[in-house]
Amino acid sequence: MSMSAPLSLERRLARLLLLSVASLLLVAVLATGIGIARITRDFVVTRLMHDRDNLIASLQSARCAPNTLPVIYQKVYSGHYYQIEHPGKPTLRSRSLWDARLALPGLQAGQNWRGFLAGPDDQYLLVLVTGVLQGGATVQVAVGEDVSALRNTLFVIYGGTLAAGILLALGLWLLQRRLLRSLLNPLFEARADLTRLECGELTQLPQAGIPIEILPLVNHINRLLEIMGRRLARSRSAIGDLAHALKTPLAALAQLEGEPAIRRDPQTAEQLRQHVQRLDMLIDSQLRRARFGGGGAPGVSVPLREQIDDLIATLHRIYRDKPIQCTVSVAQSTRFPGDREDLLKLLGVILDNAFKWARGYIAIRAEPGPPLQIWIADDGPGIAAEDVTRLARRGQRLDESAPGNGLGLAIANDIVAQYGGRLDITPQGCLGGLTVCITLPREAQSLAD
């Protein structure tokens, strides 16, 4: 079952804010445009109603219609028109219509109609028509005005309002995004503190400046770190105490080898010696495991370069008779994600093996990753390819003439495994001798191991 990508709270809130701002501004722009259009149209209609009423009054008083209206109705294609249709009589039109005629709807007396019609000279007319009863017949009285320029102006207003709305929406969105970032800044700081905790720069998450909404989570994490640290200390103490407690009866068993009854049976004495030696090796191994216990306390890490330099200085004193040159290519900022004792034991056994077999040169290199990778190579004789698997087994020694108990690389392999990493051995490496590559994840595994 594939897992979906984690959702970003900041992005979700930013999208919601953008949608809400865009929706509100769209409503505002539409309302503004509709309002301006209605106000403008009502103004024109009011003026048309005034001229229509003058026409109706002139019909009822038998006055000449043109004399009751402004002179603009006399100018050809002036944009102001009227038309009177009387059944059985010629249509009376304003001079401004010239030879054009408006297609009026048929109305009954007392009915009114308002709408847009095509006028002369490709004009766009707003027309008001009223049905008037005169002499038993219904007379259609229509007045109209060209609103083409007004319509174009409204389009410009709509476009300007929309552009202003978009710019305003963008400005508000950027402002809200900035405010959102400032509100989420404690979460970003908490995430940075978790990274510092992971790198070992902190032992607990700071509580200063943490919002009350996430303060319980920070407290729970700190409490969990404290509990896990205490459990690790108790586990190490218990394993160490048990191993030390077994040392006394083991020493008593070793003394039995000198008893006369045992010495008279060389085969039994040899078996007893081997079993005691094996138990002693196992107890020593458990004492070492009590020190490295699978990743150490949560969030602990140590500088890698500093520990490597200390180990090299110590091994130079131990192997003072061998002129070994060491090249270290490890950045000062590189850190080991675990306990210092684990690192010293891990690198100690591998570097000790390199110093033991190197002819004169050892190279150490590290890449911080993740994952963290450490290479240790020497110019010694190396080993055969078929002996690589034997080298990491407990008690296996490829050269019985050399001192040791065969636990070095096996312990190193155990430490790396406890951290969820991998130990790779190249029998004939870049320098001709053995090359050991340690690969460790960025985070140490859980203490359950």
Residue 217 and residue 313 in contact, taking contact as beta carbons nearer than 8 Å: no
CATH no. for residue 435? 3.30.565.10
Residue 39's SS3 state is: helix
Q: Looking at residue 376, what is its pLDDT?
A: 92
- For residues 277 and 326, membership in a common domain is answered with no
The verdict on residue 350 lying in a domain is yes
Q: pLDDT truncated to tens, each residue of the chain (449 aa)?
A: 444 556 677 777 777 877 887 788 778 777 877 887 788 788 888 888 888 888 888 776 655 555 567 788 888 888 888 888 888 788 888 888 888 888 888 888 888 998 888 888 888 888 999 988 887 888 889 999 988 888 888 888 778 877 887 888 788 878 877 887 887 787 778 878 887 776 667 777 887 777 787 788 888 888 888 887 777 777 767 776 777 677 777 777 777 767 777 777 777 777 777 777 777 777 766 665 555 444 445 556 788 899 999 989 988 888 888 888 999 999 988 888 877 778 888 888 889 889 988 998 999 999 987 788 999 999 888 777 777 666 655 444 444 334 443 455 777 888 888 888 888 888 787 888 888 999 988 654 433 33
Q: What are residue 376's DSSP bridge partners?
A: 364, 436
Residues 320 and 273 in one domain: no
* pTM, 2 dp: 0.44
Residues 318 and 410 in one domain: yes
Question: Which pLDDT value is given to residue 33?
Answer: 75
CATH number at residue 45: 3.30.450
Residue 342 sits in the same domain as residue 423: yes
Residues 429 and 306 in one domain: yes
Cα distances from 131 to residues 45, 119, 217, in angstroms, run: 17, 20, 78
Tokens of 294: 């699978």
Q: Is residue 159 one of the residues assigned to a domain?
A: no
The amino acid that residue 404 corresponds to is G
Query: Which among 388, 386, 367, 373 is positioned nearest to 434, based on CA atoms?
Result: 388
Are 113 and 43 members of one domain? yes
Is 165 part of a structural domain of the chain? no
- Regarding whether 116 and 39 lie in a shared domain, the answer is yes
Residue that terminates a domain, selected from 98, 116, 151: 151
Please give the residue range of the domain that contains residue 337: 302-440
212 inside domain:
no
The answer on 286 and 353 residing in a single domain is: no
Check whether residue 307 and residue 433 sit in a common domain. Answer: yes
Q: State yes or no: cis peptide before 370, omega within 30 of 0.
A: yes
> Are 315 and 405 members of one domain?
yes
Which helix (DSSP H) or strand (DSSP E) does residue 375 occupy?
Answer: strand 372-378
Query: Pseudo-torsion of CA 201, 204, 205, 206, nearest 10°?
Result: -90
Domains of the chain: total: 3
Q: Which of 240, 266, 292 corresponds to the end of one domain?
A: 292
Q: How far apart are CA 95 and CA 426, in angstroms?
A: 107
pLDDT at res. 345: 84
Residues 256 and 312 reside in one and the same domain:
no
d(CA 94, CA 25): 45
Please tell me whether residues 61 and 139 are part of one structural domain: yes
In a domain, 46, yes or no: yes
Domain-terminating residue out of 151, 175, 205 = 151
